[in-house]
Structure 1
Amino acid sequence: MGLFGKHELLVLVMSTMCLMKCSLEYDPKDNYLVDCGSPANRTTVGDRVFVSDSSHSFLSNPEQESINATNSEPSSSIYGSLLYRTARILNRTSNFTFSINQHGRHFVRLYFFPFVPDHQTYNLSSSKFSVSAHGFTLLKDFQPGVTPSVKEYSINITSDELVLTFTPSANSFAFVNALEVVSHPDELIPVSAQPVEGSTNHHGLIAQALETVARINMGNQSVSPDNDTLWRAWNSDGPFVKRNNFVRFVTNLSAVNYTENGPSVDIAPLSVYGTATKLDNEQNPSARLNNTWSFNVDPGFSYFVRFHFCDIFQLPPSDLWLNIYLNSMSVKKDFNIGLETSNVYGAPYFLDAVTRVSRDGMINVSIGTSNVYNALPESFLNGLEIMKISNSKGNLDGSLTSLSKKKVWVIAASVAGALFIIGVLGCLIFILCRRNKRKSKAGHAKQEYLSPDESTIFSKSKVGYRFPLIAIQEATDRFSESLVIGIGGFGKVYKGTLFDGTVVAVKRGAPQSNQGLAEFRTEIEMLSQFRHRHLVSLIGYCDERNEMIIIYEYMENGTLKNHLYGSDLPKLNWRQRLEICIGSAKGLHYLHTSSAKAIIHRDVKSANILLDENFMAKVADFGLSKNGPEFDQSHVSTAVKGSFGYLDPEYMTRQQLTEKSDVYSFGVVMFEILCGRPVIDPSRPRGMVSLVEWVKELQKQGELEKIIDPYLVGKMKMESLKKFVDIADKCLADEGIDRPAIGDVLWNLEYALQLEGVEIKTGQTVVNDSAKYNVENGVSSTVFTEGSMGDLDGVSMSRVFSEMVKGDKQEMR
């Protein structure tokens, strides 16, 4: 036997031994394999036995018709064609029910192939139906394609039963060829994953359902489920690679070295870590190119992405540095696998991230060479997984998002059309009734109000909807004082109702306002540039007859400030306050990162954070906002503007504005939220008037327990509070360079929320999954209890807070 033949034999032996070892690695506590519509059990590849649903009581309506097909086997199938020879047809809403022996993460796999059955009563290709499970919508009005397919989901099951519900659409029916409900290791899906720059909708993964969108093996090789300990299918990366002529496919299974502290074969099999797609630097020896793979996904969702790496090239690990990107956003710069694996050659490693896809429905994954000194011109990847994360309504089906967007556009078009008609009618009435008066008096007044060459404020721009004054007067009952919902430096804010019933907030500039035309123009132009769920939306404006009016979406629960102090509104609990902080940070993060130049808000304060009917936070009032510095500049030199008590001291002294000025103001808001008191309170004794000065003084004295809003005492976890205080403290650094970016603040707030969990501990019983995770992973679950703020089991709170502030000096996570 030649040398090459021996090498192949060695690889084959190692692979066989590894697979034998792998088969013992994980024994699922729940392992339901069901062949639907089959009269008997069926054994598939790998000796997996799929039981007949006819002989077991999984189905709630066993009288539903099942059919057997005699057509030839499908020519190809990723899970074995035998399962596609029968199907269970469901004429009405039906449930498959499975007893769950162990709570935790489970794979749910649904098999579909609309074959042509023996009899022509049903045409499976015309079926249309929905599927839900454990409170999640998996499929909505689904129509299977013409080829065999498997839909795979990971669901954290917290009850003793899992119910899969199939609901036929109107005048249709449902069907399924086979299904699996199989428990998998909980560590396969992390508790949370760090969002990449630009992601704005990530609250951890514990309670989320995930759908497998892509599971890819690099090296242009697929991996069948029988070569994976968890029976996952890994598709070849060949069809997804951009610039195929710049890459080289590599196989070196013998180099893979699973270590005790690294990923196990359950994370990814030998066949994944032992193959790779890398930059072909033999053809391009000096090139520093990115390897890029492109995937179509549903817009409007967040995605969990896992990158698999293994150095199987025998390259110097100290010189192997990579940059990792998702849709041009940095996941990790200057990544060195040697540093992560203690320079163990062939040791696997994986990296997790979450990204949001909001527009074009594409995820581009790029691996590039770092600019670190002596870095080799290399880039490679061994495997990739992309999983869609269920949204806030528990939906995983992209058609629901598309439908809602269509509805929005239809409503917007209808409103626009109606407003246009009202505008035309209003103009005709106005012209006919007051033509001469408008030419003289109103024309003269507008010349005083505008620059000589302007006929309207936005004559050269296209922003928002321009409402006629008559429509706004009707919406606000001619600016009735009974409809005033707020008063600010700009003027009064009224609650209004448009002709179509839409409730809005109408901000009307007062003639004596210190904020004039410039701020009015700035706010409208800024709001017209972006749309984000955590920024208050612009509906329209009016600049008629010397009026400066801006119309926003109405926020049912008013300002954050009014819920913290100075009103009789219900108090916010700690979880609500954390979520409000997170939402506000997301809005600011979007402003700072969504365009080539950052948009700096310049007036971040609790009065400018509004709450909708669900207490979701939205940042408002952009009249002082300003574009950030150019790419090659560190700051914008400008006059100091903002609200006293929230102003960045560096900005005040140097008149140098940066994004970090917003971060400082946000830090003030965070302490305002924690303390439940005004930023400046002249009624307090000297030394307590300024919130920031008071907090910093108590920090020095180790008495931070005195600042906490009494309403929160006994209702928050120490770990969560500790993280929150640490973040806020960093935001208030005197020098901007020492403050974190708002994206780092956001990530840490998400982490603080994760530490808080769903419920708190009662006695010695852990009552939620998050607390369970803390116990199992060595994270303390200590919580405050009523009456314990002065003495926590004999430990003074002064000492606890002192240790909290002084002991946690690590870098922002």
Structure 2
Amino acid sequence: MRFVMMDCGVLRFSIWVLLVLNLACCSRGFDPVDQYYINCGSSSDVVVGNVTYVADKSASRLLSTPQDILADSKLNSITPSENSQLFSTARIFTGPSRYTFSIKQGGRHWIRLYFYPFVYQSYDMNSASFSVFSQKTTLLSDFSPRNASVREYSVNVGSGDLVITFSPKANSFAYVNAMEVVSVPDALIDHDAPLFNPPGTFNGLVTQALETVARVNMGGPLVSPVNDTLGRTWVSDSSFLLQSNVATNASNIPAVRYPQGGATSDTAPQTVYGTCTRMNSADDPNSNFNVTWGFKVEPGFQYLIRLHFCDIVSTSANQLVFNVYIGTFLVAPDLELSAKFFGRLATAYYMDFVTPTMDRNNLTVSIGPSPRSAYPDAILNGLEIMKMNNSKDSLAGESILPRFPRSKKNVGMIVGISVGVSLALIVVGVLFFVHRRRKQEQLAHSKTWIPISINGGTSHTMGSKYSTATTGSINSNLSYRIPFAAVQEATNNFDESWVIGIGGFGKVYKGVLNDGTKVAVKRGNPKSQQGLAEFRTEIEMLSQFRHRHLVSLIGYCDEKNEMILVYEYMENGTLKSHLYGSNLPSLGWKERLEICIGAARGLHYLHTGYAKAVIHRDVKSANILLDENLMAKVADFGLSKTGPEIDQTHVSTAVKGSFGYLDPEYFRRQQLTEKSDVYSFGVVLFEVLCARPVIDPSLPREMVNLAEWAMKWQKKGQLDQIIDPNLAGKIKPDSLRKYGETAEKCLADFGVDRPSMGDVLWNLEYALQLQEAVVHNDPEENSTNVIGQLSPQVGEFNNVDTSNSVAGFETSSVDDLSGVSMSRVFSQLVKSEGR
């Protein structure tokens, strides 16, 4: 049983150790009942340590495949550090193929799959694409190995047969170099684990299929299989630390003891519990920071996090009290290890947690001081991260189990059912389309706005007629209704000298309510169809949201056929006005980064903070407003629209937005997704950096469009040549590099290639950290190599897109409501502009 998913492109030596060191079963406490070790594609057995990998030609009774293809690399394409006989041969599958293993004792089993691509005759394994299944669980989907890797899975198998299926993609093939199926102690995972967002318990953990993502020894070197009772490898944590200068190591392996009924040597070896990474407080009793590790994960899955602790640093009981965080959540407050063992120190202990379904590709684990501690300190000895199968019983996203030959009778029945269902779906679709067209035609005849009835009479609910979200009657917002007379008084009877902006909806006035509150009053034009749509959308949709990075609505007025929205007044106006076109003082780089981070938080909340994503559709610097402290708030949701249903990929809708910021894919296909906002935000990022309009016809032709012009310089690696002159010499190269990489990814031609707003936020926070960081003894450190070092043990990670890797650790929760009063639950802009 060996360490999994190790990328030899990053830690080739570790893979060599992994393959050369034997399982040494005689030196371990656990003796697996089921043990299958197969050297695939080989005509002879191979001995690695004390374990014999049987040639699968000899084990052909286990295999069902349409064609016998045993590939031998002749060692021509394998470098010395990878010169293992397990990687030198492979079994190639041209069609669905199955290994069937007889299981003597049901329970949890390791499944390890070895992959290394080489060329054999007409088969270039670099071009292979295939899926792998264990019973009905998808282990890999559309998998194309690029380097030597070992993928490790832990599955619960009933007694009988375990079937592992390789299914090539159409016009491709599958392969595997070696396989292991080995029993695992059931006690390793024998209980449920707590959830932390929302709090609760994850039931059924014992039955979950798991894939090992990370297994890390904090504060110590690589732990080889010979030093682990289950033959695992634990890698050093140094490459995962986000800020190595805030951490230090400690070691006291002989002191480690295992308690009765708790952690055992099977849980983690003494060499893991006997080393730790701790806060580098440097004898400063006022130290207040976290030590954070970052890992790459796959969105759409939950993860089991196992944290290993052993207090080897304290000299007396109750000395060490600290906090533990997963992401931004405090999962173990005031953790006092000695209190769990009646004052005993150096006692092994572990905690399990299950994450919510991840919506980003980065996961952080942090430790930090507790207010209860007399001296700031915190430790972590080991960490394991395991991906859990989703509701579709998959560890690899979408995939379909292969079909093996059936009888003609079954085929005919399946075809008949399929045709019948298809015809039924077509009929339903046609009826739905006709019904929808009639509703749209009826809506087109309605050209006037019907005021919302508040006082008695019928309450007009705002449902699907104008809706981009679902809400109840406007009566639920009665406390936000402002009399027309009060609005007149606040704006000095709509004094034209008080106008601070004009947009498609109407004019925006500065105003002061009778209690002294400064407001921005947007007065709509009842004859404007655009204004009507925006008014309805604002009240209908935004009454559901509240966030400190969304501009708040104070109230509305619908008297006298008016459409008036009253917002909090943003003292510093628009972000655009601080970049160019005004005499306002120039913003510093840190201020610009913090503004972008605030705006990203607001957009991330829109995309993830509700049952369905809300797409802004008009992200631009004029719709990012700044309060008296220059805190950014996203505004103007008149064009916003709810995102696609769960079973849809996009929303088909007419193109709306602002020139220069418009997503070209959305413009071409009229298919709207959250990634359209990401593109627009990428333009804003370059606008913030260069401090010039996004479209400037007065400039030379190649410079007219900011996005195109900036991307040319970014791809040449010379973005510093076009930055705002006010920033010259004030941006650290690492910060600029990360910022440019983030903007570039946002402007990818296709939405699927763009990061989520959560990832954008993450990377901007990292760019800020790089700007502020004081790096010691590492002159070569930069945003690229920091990211590239984060996850060396995960398969294929030397090909990971580093711009979306771990990039910060103090992210905001989408539920962040701090500083937001209950009387402010809407948002809109102060200075509106025409589109």
TM-score under structure 2 length normalisation: 0.49
Report the equivalent of 1:144. 145
What do residues 373-423 of structure 1 show as CA deviations (whole Å, max 9, x unaligned)? 52x32111111000011111101114669xxxxxxxxxxxxxxx9999999
252-261 or 121-130, larger mean C-alpha shift: 252-261
2:32 to 28, 48, 51: 28
Partners in 2 of 1:76 and 1:258 — Cα distance?
40
**SS in structure 1 at match of 2:187:** helix
What do residues 263-285 of structure 1 show as CA deviations (whole Å, max 9, x unaligned)? 11111112211221112233755
Report the equivalent of 1:611. none
**SS in structure 2 at match of 1:364:** strand
**SS in structure 2 at match of 1:338:** helix
Shift of 1:319: 1.3
CA 1:155–1:43 in structure 2 vs 1: closer, same or farther (change >3 Å)?
Answer: same
CA 1:506–1:289 in structure 2 vs 1: closer, same or farther (change >3 Å)?
Answer: closer
CA 1:277–1:74 in structure 2 vs 1: closer, same or farther (change >3 Å)?
Answer: farther
Uncovered stretches (5+) of structure 1, i.e. residues with no partner:
1-18, 402-416, 432-437, 451-455, 459-465, 473-503, 541-549, 556-626, 639-813
Shift of 1:370: 1.0
**Paired residue type of 1:345:** L
Report the equivalent of 2:369. 369
Residue 65 of structure 2 corresponds to residue 61 of structure 1? yes
**Paired residue type of 1:230:** L
Report the equivalent of 1:797. none
CA 1:554–1:71 in structure 2 vs 1: closer, same or farther (change >3 Å)?
Answer: closer
Residue 211 of structure 2 corresponds to residue 211 of structure 1? yes
**SS in structure 2 at match of 1:289:** coil
Kindly indicate whether the alpha-carbon contact (under 8 Å) linking 1:199 and 1:354 is maintained by their aligned counterparts in 2: no
295-304 or 357-366, larger mean C-alpha shift: 357-366
CA 1:278–1:508 in structure 2 vs 1: closer, same or farther (change >3 Å)?
Answer: closer
Kindly indicate whether the alpha-carbon contact (under 8 Å) linking 1:199 and 1:356 is maintained by their aligned counterparts in 2: no
**SS in structure 2 at match of 1:304:** strand
CA 1:346–1:171 in structure 2 vs 1: closer, same or farther (change >3 Å)?
Answer: same
CA 1:422–1:149 in structure 2 vs 1: closer, same or farther (change >3 Å)?
Answer: farther
Report the equivalent of 2:504. none
Kindly indicate whether the alpha-carbon contact (under 8 Å) linking 2:65 and 2:96 is maintained by their aligned counterparts in 1: no
Partners in 2 of 1:554 and 1:217 — Cα distance?
39
Kindly indicate whether the alpha-carbon contact (under 8 Å) linking 1:110 and 1:152 is maintained by their aligned counterparts in 2: yes
**Paired residue type of 2:354:** V
What do residues 651-688 of structure 1 show as CA deviations (whole Å, max 9, x unaligned)? xxxxxxxxxxxxxxxxxxxxxxxxxxxxxxxxxxxxxx
TM-score under structure 1 length normalisation: 0.50
Kindly indicate whether the alpha-carbon contact (under 8 Å) linking 1:71 and 1:116 is maintained by their aligned counterparts in 2: no
CA 1:201–1:388 in structure 2 vs 1: closer, same or farther (change >3 Å)?
Answer: farther
Report the equivalent of 1:293. 293
**Paired residue type of 2:57:** S
Shift of 1:218: 1.1
Q: How does 1:355-504 map to 2 (within 5 A)?
A: 355-374=355-374, 376-398=375-397, 429-430=445-446, 438=448, 446=451, 468=465
Shift of 1:361: 1.6
**Paired residue type of 2:542:** E
CA 1:508–1:122 in structure 2 vs 1: closer, same or farther (change >3 Å)?
Answer: same
Shift of 1:200: 8.3
Kindly indicate whether the alpha-carbon contact (under 8 Å) linking 2:25 and 2:31 is maintained by their aligned counterparts in 1: no
Report the equivalent of 2:45. 41
Kindly indicate whether the alpha-carbon contact (under 8 Å) linking 2:308 and 2:380 is maintained by their aligned counterparts in 1: yes
Q: How does 1:230-245 map to 2 (within 5 A)?
A: 230-245=230-245
Partners in 2 of 1:141 and 1:365 — Cα distance?
30
What do residues 480-535 of structure 1 show as CA deviations (whole Å, max 9, x unaligned)? xxxxxxxxxxxxxxxxxxxxxxxx999996x9x99979799887435567799998
Partners in 2 of 1:338 and 1:171 — Cα distance?
60
**Paired residue type of 1:260:** Q
Report the equivalent of 2:175. 175
Q: How does 1:584-663 map to 2 (within 5 A)?
A: none
Kindly indicate whether the alpha-carbon contact (under 8 Å) linking 2:289 and 2:368 is maintained by their aligned counterparts in 1: yes
Partners in 2 of 1:377 and 1:366 — Cα distance?
14
Partners in 1 of 2:36 and 2:123 — Cα distance?
28
Partners in 2 of 1:514 and 1:534 — Cα distance?
21
Uncovered stretches (5+) of structure 2, i.e. residues with no partner:
1-22, 401-432, 482-535, 547-604, 616-641, 648-813, 825-835
**Paired residue type of 2:240:** F
**SS in structure 2 at match of 1:240:** coil
CA 1:105–1:448 in structure 2 vs 1: closer, same or farther (change >3 Å)?
Answer: closer
What do residues 313-366 of structure 1 show as CA deviations (whole Å, max 9, x unaligned)? 243231101101100101110111111233333221111111124322211000
Partners in 2 of 1:97 and 1:21 — Cα distance?
24
Partners in 1 of 2:286 and 2:84 — Cα distance?
47
Kindly indicate whether the alpha-carbon contact (under 8 Å) linking 2:219 and 2:276 is maintained by their aligned counterparts in 1: yes
Partners in 2 of 1:59 and 1:156 — Cα distance?
21
Report the equivalent of 1:103. 106
Partners in 1 of 2:314 and 2:541 — Cα distance?
58
**SS in structure 2 at match of 1:363:** strand
What do residues 678-713 of structure 1 show as CA deviations (whole Å, max 9, x unaligned)? xxxxxxxxxxxxxxxxxxxxxxxxxxxxxxxxxxxx
**SS in structure 2 at match of 1:245:** helix
Kindly indicate whether the alpha-carbon contact (under 8 Å) linking 1:64 and 1:91 is maintained by their aligned counterparts in 2: no
Shift of 1:73: 7.7
Report the equivalent of 1:81. 84
Kindly indicate whether the alpha-carbon contact (under 8 Å) linking 1:629 and 1:636 is maintained by their aligned counterparts in 2: no
**SS in structure 2 at match of 1:165:** strand
Partners in 1 of 2:149 and 2:818 — Cα distance?
48
1:115 to 113, 118, 123: 118
Shift of 1:296: 0.8
Q: How does 1:711-726 map to 2 (within 5 A)?
A: none
Residue 133 of structure 2 corresponds to residue 132 of structure 1? yes
Shift of 1:42: 0.7
Partners in 2 of 1:400 and 1:534 — Cα distance?
28
CA 1:77–1:208 in structure 2 vs 1: closer, same or farther (change >3 Å)?
Answer: farther
- The total of aligned residue pairs comes to 460
CA 1:268–1:73 in structure 2 vs 1: closer, same or farther (change >3 Å)?
Answer: farther
Shift of 1:216: 0.8
**Paired residue type of 1:385:** E
Kindly indicate whether the alpha-carbon contact (under 8 Å) linking 2:606 and 2:614 is maintained by their aligned counterparts in 1: no
Kindly indicate whether the alpha-carbon contact (under 8 Å) linking 1:538 and 1:553 is maintained by their aligned counterparts in 2: no
Shift of 1:255: 2.0
CA 1:271–1:526 in structure 2 vs 1: closer, same or farther (change >3 Å)?
Answer: farther
Shift of 1:312: 2.1
Partners in 2 of 1:316 and 1:204 — Cα distance?
39
Partners in 1 of 2:268 and 2:281 — Cα distance?
27
1:92 to 92, 95, 99: 95
Kindly indicate whether the alpha-carbon contact (under 8 Å) linking 1:34 and 1:180 is maintained by their aligned counterparts in 2: yes
CA 1:297–1:238 in structure 2 vs 1: closer, same or farther (change >3 Å)?
Answer: same
CA 1:506–1:318 in structure 2 vs 1: closer, same or farther (change >3 Å)?
Answer: closer
Instruction: Tell me: higher relative CO, structure 1 or 2? Use CA pairs within 8 A at least 6 residues apart.
Output: 2
**Paired residue type of 1:195:** L
Report the equivalent of 2:552. none
Partners in 1 of 2:346 and 2:646 — Cα distance?
57
Q: How does 1:160-309 map to 2 (within 5 A)?
A: 160-198=160-198, 202-282=202-282, 284=284, 286-309=286-309
**SS in structure 2 at match of 1:230:** coil
Partners in 2 of 1:136 and 1:467 — Cα distance?
40
Supply the RMSD in Å over aligned alpha carbons: 4.5
Shift of 1:116: 3.1
CA 1:419–1:196 in structure 2 vs 1: closer, same or farther (change >3 Å)?
Answer: farther
1:525 to 535, 538, 542: 542
**SS in structure 1 at match of 2:180:** strand
Partners in 2 of 1:41 and 1:507 — Cα distance?
67
Q: How does 1:741-760 map to 2 (within 5 A)?
A: none
What do residues 97-128 of structure 1 show as CA deviations (whole Å, max 9, x unaligned)? 100011110011111110234xx311011000
Partners in 2 of 1:114 and 1:507 — Cα distance?
54
Kindly indicate whether the alpha-carbon contact (under 8 Å) linking 1:285 and 1:377 is maintained by their aligned counterparts in 2: yes
CA 1:430–1:208 in structure 2 vs 1: closer, same or farther (change >3 Å)?
Answer: same
Report the equivalent of 1:744. none
Partners in 1 of 2:373 and 2:180 — Cα distance?
50
**Paired residue type of 2:236:** S
**Paired residue type of 1:344:** R
